[in-house]
Amino acid sequence: MNIPGLLRRYLPILDWGARYTGKTFTNDLIVAGIVTVMLIPQSLAYALLAGLPPQVGLYASMAPLVLYAIFGTSRALAVGPVAVASLMTAAAAAKVATQGTPEYLGATIALAAISGLLLLAMGLLRLGFLANFLSHPVISGFITASGIQIAAGQLAPVLGIHAEGESFVDLLKSMVPNLGHINPYTAAIGFASLAFLFWVRRGLTPLLRRFGLGERAADILAKVGPVVAIAVTTAAVWGFGLTEHGVKIVGTVPKGLPSLSLPPFEVGLWTKLLVPALLISIVGYVESISVALTLAAKRRQRVDPDQELIALGMSNVGAAVSGGFPVTGGFARSVVNFEAGAETPAAGAFTAIGIALATLFLTPLLFFLPNATLAATIIVAVLSLVNLGALKHTWHYSRADGAAMAATILLTLLEGVEAGLLAGVGLSIFLHLYHTSKPHVAVVGQLPGTMNFRNVARHTVVTDPEILSLRVDASLYFPNARFIEDYINRTVAANPAVRHVILECPAVNTIDASALESLEAINHRLKDGGITLHLSEVKGPVMDRLKRSHLLEELTGKVHLTQYDAVSSINPDLARRALETPRDGRPAPATSEAVHP
Amino acid sequence: MNIPGLLRRYLPILDWGARYTGKTFTNDLIVAGIVTVMLIPQSLAYALLAGLPPQVGLYASMAPLVLYAIFGTSRALAVGPVAVASLMTAAAAAKVATQGTPEYLGATIALAAISGLLLLAMGLLRLGFLANFLSHPVISGFITASGIQIAAGQLAPVLGIHAEGESFVDLLKSMVPNLGHINPYTAAIGFASLAFLFWVRRGLTPLLRRFGLGERAADILAKVGPVVAIAVTTAAVWGFGLTEHGVKIVGTVPKGLPSLSLPPFEVGLWTKLLVPALLISIVGYVESISVALTLAAKRRQRVDPDQELIALGMSNVGAAVSGGFPVTGGFARSVVNFEAGAETPAAGAFTAIGIALATLFLTPLLFFLPNATLAATIIVAVLSLVNLGALKHTWHYSRADGAAMAATILLTLLEGVEAGLLAGVGLSIFLHLYHTSKPHVAVVGQLPGTMNFRNVARHTVVTDPEILSLRVDASLYFPNARFIEDYINRTVAANPAVRHVILECPAVNTIDASALESLEAINHRLKDGGITLHLSEVKGPVMDRLKRSHLLEELTGKVHLTQYDAVSSINPDLARRALETPRDGRPAPATSEAVHP
């Protein structure tokens, strides 16, 4: 690819930027205003959730948005701090530093830097498939468990008590003894905010629509609920002097933009943060790409998964150099962005300007903002992530998937986010390898009146006791190579009459070196037992490759075009008689096989 | 299963023991005599290779053989110390203790115990498939590299110099400075033994056959070569008083049987040895089962891979409680066992008695046995394991397999056995997951004159620009679920005329929860874009499972029996016209697809 081609590939902004018009600009500007209002409380709240000062949340909502606008392929994705990644950040940073220290902030910045570099590397090396191994049940179980844990953790600031712990269980343990120290003023603010926010979510949209608002406008307006809660409770704390009654407030939020600086480079620290950063990247990417694909499909737009890795990588590197923490595409804010009518990623860049203006001029207004209100906004946001019903559905659909999901939920709640996620991924890959290593193998016979061969266990077919016809419903490669060897060894030992083995290979898309070795061993062993080995219906590319091996020279039998040819070459009478036999009124073979295999 | 059934399953001795006759007994006894003579020098040599006193090799050749006779399913497999496992044992034990100390011996005993328990667990839990993930190129590369490393290491005792190191490179580095200290007497014995043993291997069998011996008898007699070398060089050292010239000898080998004792139980030690023990178990098992299957096939006998895990597990536990070190089925000795005519595993038990008698009465004869002779027997034995040509063949056959093999060889030589093996396994699984996550998807169209649908890229077919027919050549599950989502998203975005998507599923053997979620997302997104989603040729079990989900209710299209039905339901005219079009003399579709897909 030439330089302009490379630039166009890695800088999607060159594509949409060239077609940018004044009308699009006005539109994007309006959208940015709406999203900014929604993003301010979220940024503050998720920074607190990550154990950081509130302004860090604002910092993480500037540079990343601009960089995503340059590198991203989704028109509607809105990046920034999100709940699950913030929880994971807190868990990882707490392992290497104490909350509130410069080392803790350094650790979260390093997490953003490592996540960013990992995502960039995955994007450039086209390793996005790694995210596939976070199966849907695992990610869904993980998000449910994270939601429960975040909500439980935020109950403490809502009640005005102290709590800490890496897992749900630890959190509960540390909270219970403090229940006697609930601050009634804080709790009043917290529960009032909770009640209001739940009502906004459930009751406000119908009400607004009854007042004649469109569905979309009503939905968007309802998203401004948290801002109202913040304004009212901040005013209440200031007006009634509630800080004197022990209500904790945000306090001084430094004015001004973040200064650019490099994240701390320490081999020891980076090594310790590597696995958590990888998990944060992958969880963030999976969530982000799924939102992006969903929104793109609604307008038949394209999202490039590899380029999205690069865009999220750049966003996180941007977060790191501007004093932020790990960011990713958020579901709720992307939907708002989309529904408000964002036409290009420029809307995101304008949102960043909105946040910057807020950081420059609005921070004094946040002084009396009670922590309880922010905690309430988090609880309301994360409870929508909790979906325990999915566990039942998944278990009902597939035991293996259900088990992986249950393990993820349990271990996340008991041991924390990393343990839960790793256990889920490990169990899914293990179950995958297990199933892969035991493919379906059918003994087949000729369907009377046809040249087709079908499973003897499911169809009335014609067979010859001297011929063992096997159809392997999988590619032959190392996870199942030994299984096939053992299967043939076992079947031949159990059928002493067999003199010919035919492997029907229509489903064999590849034969790797291990399977080739197994086939050579099978051929050799069958030869020692006086049995010939034949192959049939070998696909073109597989045959091309086999020609580069010694198997075809050593094969005791032949490679036949079709299974019928193979059987005909050994017992022509039987094959012909079977072909001439009427089919006793059974349904057409292709259909019956497809429906009842 | 009832108690007698369980006993028969886990104690194969009950099966063959019941049919044991006097004739079989005589036969097994003769075989045991031959194998004993072959096993004594091997046991001593491999104990030295593992860094242990020579008698430990004899101890490891008693209890394990008896236990294999009780639990094993192969009639011919001969277990005991083998070269590669001994090298791996030395590498693992050297990490936790210094050679020559009781802790070192304790570590090798613990390795046998852990390996034994792991193999037992794998057998009882039917986890033998784990061994599949040691692909053939990896094990073959590993054995070649181990052979090179062992041979290099044994050059030191052959030359009478000192050398140590965990990898081939370290070994060479430590040997070079000592080359000035070569002991000429030792080197003379070493090279004479080497020359004699190579001649025995290459030239003796033809000579014996010229003297009228049968091929089998000549082969077996040639295996006694090491015993002759040992007898002659021992006599020479004793007769010429060569110990005074610095020739190192075996010295006092304690008389008598090993005392039974428990291996050292220390959590720290066991934790450190867990990974090496797992690798020793799996490498040993893979080698052993492949020998067992090969020999069983020659007489059409059955070998049960799961029971073999149990038998090898019991053998290693037996080695551990009788002061030995990890054992497995050896290739050369099993072949001798087989060719000498071993009819039942009892031959192994009788060999154990032979070794026990040797330990009781023959050890004084071994006092003057020079280490150089034992080293020479090891070199000759392991050089037959080295097969660098396989690397070329494998690379030629498949780049991915060749890369895994090259990585294994390189890392084993540079970094040692564990690193090499783990890198090879890691790379194979990574490449497997990579390929799995990108399955073959074909856009298909109707083959004129038939109801069959074929890849548009390879056949002249009839298509409708409003219908996108896709055939996925893989099961739909989490490694490729997102790939399919992206594929459809991309293809639909690139073809704005499309109004219907049909997924043809004849190769879909399963749809897991992740893929179900993807299909639901695809259906939802296509619906948003005004496109219907249809499925065709869904297999019975897959359909049964889909009925337990919500996909079928939400599907915008239908599930059709065949792809032809699906297209007919949308555009009946086109499907019928295509069916009525003559096929312009192309070959029959099934055949052409099978040969040039």
Summarize pLDDT for A423-471 with one digit per residue, the tens. Answer: 998 888 888 878 878 888 889 999 888 888 888 887 888 999 999 999 8
The model's pLDDT over B27-60, given as tens digits with 9 standing for 90+, comes to: 888 888 888 888 888 899 999 999 999 999 999 9
Taking the Cβ of residue B298 and every Cβ of chain A, the question of whether any pair is shorter than 8 Å is answered with yes
Q: A62 near A104, Cβ under 8 Å? A: no
Which of A201-215, B151-165, B483-497 shows the lowest per-residue confidence on average (mean pLDDT)? Answer: A201-215
Task: Say whether residue A499 is in contact with chain B using an 8 A CB cutoff.
Answer: no
Q: Which residues contact B394 (CB under 8 A, 6 or more apart)?
A: A513, B137, B140, B401, B402, B405
Quick one: DSSP state of residue A158?
H
Identify the band that residue B593 occupies on the pLDDT scale cut at 50, 70 and 90. very low
Give the range among A126-140, A237-251, B458-472, B547-561 with minimum mean pLDDT: A126-140
Is the confidence at residue B321, as pLDDT, over 90? yes
Asked if the model's pLDDT at residue A595 lies above 50, the reply is no
pLDDT of residue A6: 78
Helix (H) or strand (E) holding B578: helix B572-580
Please check whether residue A481 touches B, CB under 8 A. Answer: yes
Tokens (6 digits) for B108 = 């090798």
Mean pLDDT of the region B249-268: 84
- Residues 6 or more apart whose Cβ sits within 8 Å of residue B348: B32, B65, B66, B68, B69, B72, B77, B78, B79, B337, B342
For residue B586, pLDDT over 60 is answered with: no
Q: Which two tokens stand for residue A166?
A: 């890496």
Q: For residue B459, what are the CA distances in angstroms to A472, B225, B347, B447, B487? A: 26, 64, 62, 8, 21
B residues 123-152 closer than 8 Å to A (CB): 129, 131-133, 135-137, 140
A526 touches chain B (CB under 8 A): yes
Q: Do B548 and A597 touch (CB under 8 A)?
A: no
Judge contact between B378 and B198, C-beta under 8 A: no
Q: Which residues of A touch B397 (CB under 8 A)?
A: 513, 516, 545, 548-549
- The answer to whether A496 faces chain B, any CB pair under 8 Å, is yes
Q: Which residue of B has its CA nearest to A475?
A: B474
Provide the token pair at B248.
């190192």
DSSP B227-293: HHHHHHHHHHHHHHTGGGGT--B------SPPPP-PPP--HHHHHHHHHHHHHHHHHHHHHHHHHHH
DSSP A60-123: TTTHHHHHHHHH---SS--EE--HHHHHHHHHHHHHHS-TTSHHHHHHHHHHHHHHHHHHHHHH
Quick one: pLDDT at residue B588?
Answer: 39
Q: What is the ipTM of this complex?
A: 0.77
Buried b / exposed e over B451-490, threshold 16 CB at 10 Å, is bbbbbeeebebbbbeebbbbbbbbbbbbbbbbbbbbbbbe
Q: Are the Cβ atoms of A513 and B394 closer than 8 angstroms? A: yes
Closest residue by Cα to residue B463 from B438, B487, B491: B491
Q: What angle do CA B258, B259, B261 make, to 5 degrees?
A: 125
Calpha distance B47→B41 (Å, rounded): 10
For chain B, give the number of residues: 597
CA torsion, points A251, A253, A255, A261, in degrees to nearest 10? 150
The nearest alpha carbon in chain A to B527 belongs to A298
pTM of the model: 0.76
Contact B481 A132 (CB under 8 A): yes
Q: Which of A297, A512, A595 has the CB atom closest to B525's CB atom?
A: A297
Cα torsion for B400, B405, B407, B408, to the nearest 10°?
Answer: 140
Q: What span, in angstroms and rounded, lies between the C-alpha atoms of B308 and A468?
A: 26
Using CB atoms, pick whichever of B129, B473, B513 lies closest to residue A398: B513
Among A428, A489, A561, the residue with its CB nearest the CB of B595 is A561
Task: Assess A478–B contact: CB distance below 8 Å, yes or no.
Answer: yes
Chain B hits for A548, Cβ within 8 Å: 396-397
Q: Which of A293, A298, A477 sits opposite B485 (nearest CB)?
A: A293
Q: Which of A219, A294, A334 minimizes the C-alpha distance to B527? A: A294
Q: What is the pLDDT of residues A71-94, one digit of tens each?
A: 998 888 999 999 999 999 999 999
| Pairing mode of beta strands B532-536, B559-560 | parallel
Q: Which residues of A touch B407 (CB under 8 A)?
A: none
* Residue B433 forms contact with A (CB below 8 Å): yes
> What's the CA gap between A52 and A44, in Å, rounded?
9
Chain A touched by B252 (CB under 8 Å) = no
Is residue B571 exposed (0-12), middle (13-18) or buried (19+ Cβ within 10 Å)? middle
Which amino acid appears at position A245 of this protein? H
Residues 187-216 of A with CB under 8 A from B: none
Measured between CB atoms, does A294 come within 8 Å of chain B?
yes
Residue A211 CB neighbour total at 10 angstroms: 7
Residue numbers of B between 80 and 119 with CB closer than 8 Å to A? none
For B136, which of A297, A401, A478 is closest by C-beta distance?
A478
Instruction: Give the whole-angstrom CA distance, residue A576 versus residue A376.
Output: 78
- In chain A, what residues touch B482 (CB-CB under 8 Å)? 131-132, 289, 305
Measured CA to CA, the distance from residue A448 to residue A459 in angstroms comes to: 10
- Tell me, yes or no, if B259 comes closer than 8 A to chain A by beta carbon: no
